[in-house]
Structures are given as C-alpha cells and as structure tokens.
Amino acid sequence: MSMSNSFIKKVLLLLSFLLLAASFGGNDPVLTALVDEALKNSPEIQASQERIEAARLKIPQVKSLPDPMFMFGYQNESFDRYTYGEMSGSQWMFSATQQFLFPGKQTLKGEMVKRDVESLEAMHELLKLKTVARVKEIYYDLFFAYKNIDLLKDKRDLFIRIEDITLARYAAGKAMQQDVLMAQTEKYMLLEKEEMLKQKVQSLEAMLRAVIGREKGPPLDRPSEPVYQPFPLEIDGAIDLALKHSPEIKSRHKMIEAANARLAMAQKEYYPDFALSGSYYNRTGEFPDMWSATATINIPLYFYSKQRPAALEAKANIRQAKQELEAVKLMISAALRDNYSMLRSAEKLMNIYKKGLIPKNTQDFEQSLTGYSTGKTEAINVISRLKTLLDYEAQYWNQFVEREKAISRLNAITTGLTAGDEKK
C-alpha cells in the first residue's frame, strides 16, 4: 500500500511539474515575446555565455604537456683561440627536453576545469531563470501602473459627478462653498496621482528595456491583463521539485566534484614528475659526434610544508562546498515558503476585496451619493466612501499582481526551466 501511495505521489509531482513547465511562458503573447527577447539579447546573459566559452577553452590548455625546451650552445677548450675540430672537447651542443607529469595528473587537471565549467553552466541557467522572473515582475508592475491610471480615470468621472452635485446644491443654497472646494480639490489630487503614475510607467519601461537588452527600437506595448492561473503545487511538492531541478543546487554539486578533483590532484602532487632530454654534440675532424639521453625527476622533499598543507586545504574546501550546498537548500526552501505564503495570502485578500469589500463599499457609496443629492448626508462622507472604494480596487489589483509575481518566482525556482528549454 505504501509503495502504491509513493507511486501516486511521484505521478502527481510529475504532472504538476509538466503543468508548471507548460505555463512557464504564460499565455500572454506580449510577455512571451519580451521573455524571448531578454533571453536572446540580455547583456548579462551574453556575458555569462562568454564566460562559459572562455572557461571551456581552459580544458585543453590544462591537459596539455608543458612546452618542450630546446637548447643549443658551443663548448670551447681554450680561452685564447677557437679550437673547434682541434680539441676533443670543442663542440656544438644541441638538446631537447620534454617534461611529463606523473600519470593521472593531466586527467585530474582537466577534470577540475570541466567541473568548474559545468558549475558555470548551471549558474548560467539560474541567471536565465532569474532574468525571466525579473522580466515578469517588471511587466506586472507596469500593468499595475496602467491599471491604477485606468482606475483614477474611472473614478475621476465620479468625482466630477460629485462636483456637479455640490455646485448645483450650492447654487440652490443647500450646500456650503466648502463642499464645492472639497470636491474640486479631490479631483485635482487625482490628476496629480495620474501624472505621478505616468512617470512611474516611463521608469518601469526603462527598467524593462534594460533587462531585455533593447536600447532602441519600437515602443513597448501596453501589458494586457494577466489571466488568473492556479498554482498546482502544495509547498512540500514545490520544495521537492526545487531540490531536484534547481540549477543553483546543481552548480553546488559541481563545485563539490571540482573540490574532490582538487583533493585528488593535491594527493597526486606527492608523486614526482619527470623530464626526458636528448642531446647531440657536433664535433669535426677526427673526433666523432656524440649523443646523450637523460631523465630528470623532481623529488617532493618538502612535502610536509607543501603537499601536505595543500591536501588539507583541499579537504577544507570540500567541507566548505558541502556546507554551502546545505545553505543553498535552506535558502531555496525559505524562498519557496515565503513566496508560497505570499501567493496564498494574496488569493485570500483578493477574495475578500472582490466578494466583500468592493461590492459592499460600492453600494455604500451609491447610497451615500443618493443621500447627498437629497440632503440626507454630508459631502465629506460621499468623498470619503469614494476614496475608500478606489483604495480597495487598487488593493485588489495590487494583490493580483503580487500573486502573479510570486508565481513567477515559484516557477523559476521549482521548474528549473527557461522558455528556451521548454521549446526544446
């Protein structure tokens, strides 16, 4: 029975993963195009790719043998004259030397750099995920700014309506001039807020252009209203997926593997390297040419102050890498719980605003406006209720946007996929 439950749990996790991956780019064509543009043109992503290419080119370098050495010279037996061909020790000398590392060292050097490259590749994927999440967050903030402008324009008509009523009642001697001034002041305050929001739109568009790498080009399209999408995972399932697919965790594992390779390399340094040399001695006359072959071996004599500390250092680096991996796991878990809490809290608040506060406050405002028209209530009450309604509607859309931003961060952490990966 337990095996069956475990299998069902794995199937549900897999289905949830596929649902997340399928919705990673969302169903907004404008947002999808911006994400693709960011992944293609972001200077930060391009710099990361070049860093990886540069690191890959180190692999053949570290696996190569040291450069061979060539020596030539002349030996003479006298200081007062040139004795080449006259003395047996006078000769031209030529030699070549090639150093060889102890077997296994070259492979380990390549292994260390290879693991470093794989770590950079994983961090590159993490950078792409963070870039996608950043594009979405700015996009949703931009949508919210536009939405606030729409709300202000919509409520401005109501404030104008209140102003007209106060003017009519003031002309009829049924209201004080203070009511007219109050209504006009609120109208101009809305205009002030609208201008501030327009400036915010320009600021967010500049930030979005920077993230997607578009310095020039066509203006950005206005964001469309996001479609409400459910988040299919519970927090435990989200954490399981993140720990399995997070590029950052993969990068930390590669760092541990690189540290292990460095330890193996440090232990190999206890063994000597060697060099082979071949020499040719050119003599003339009655003296025959000569040749020689030699082997040179370095002796790790000072291992106690050199090789041994290097091995201990490598072991300490392994322990450090493992602790950093655990810290990353805790950080990812905390980030998931934080965003998941934000997501569920936003859903509850949206429900309260949409089904409770906004419709009730709308009715309250309409009744208050009717009451003011007949002289049963004060103008300040009508204006106060309209401002409260505007605040509730803005808070609803704020929670809507915060929910979408939380989902984009959760998707980036749990799926470990970018839009480009999804298409593959």
What string of DSSP letters covers 73-102?
Answer: EEE-S-SSS--BTTBTT-EEEEEEEEEEPP
State the pLDDT at residue 351: 93
102 Cβ contact list (under 8 Å, min separation 6): 268, 271, 272, 273, 274
Q: 175-187 burial, b for 16+ CB within 10 Å, e for fewer?
A: beeebbebbbebb
Q: Which residue has the higher pLDDT, 285 or 395?
A: 395
**pLDDT tens digit string along 49-75?**
999 999 999 999 999 999 999 999 999
Average pLDDT of the segment spanning 144-156: 87
Structure confidence at residue 403 as a pLDDT band (50, 70, 90): very high
Q: How many other C-beta atoms can be found within 10 angstroms of the C-beta atom of residue 255?
A: 23
Q: For the sheet with 290-297, list strands across it.
A: 69-75, 91-100, 274-282, 290-297
State the pLDDT at residue 5: 55
Average pLDDT of the segment spanning 230-243: 86
Average pLDDT of the segment spanning 95-103: 94
Range list of H helices, 269-417: 307-352, 358-373, 379-415
Which superfamily does CATH assign the domain made up of 9-65+102-269+309-423 to? Outer membrane efflux proteins (OEP) (1.20.1600.10)
pTM of the model: 0.79
The domain limits of the chain are 9-65+102-269+309-423, 66-100+272-305
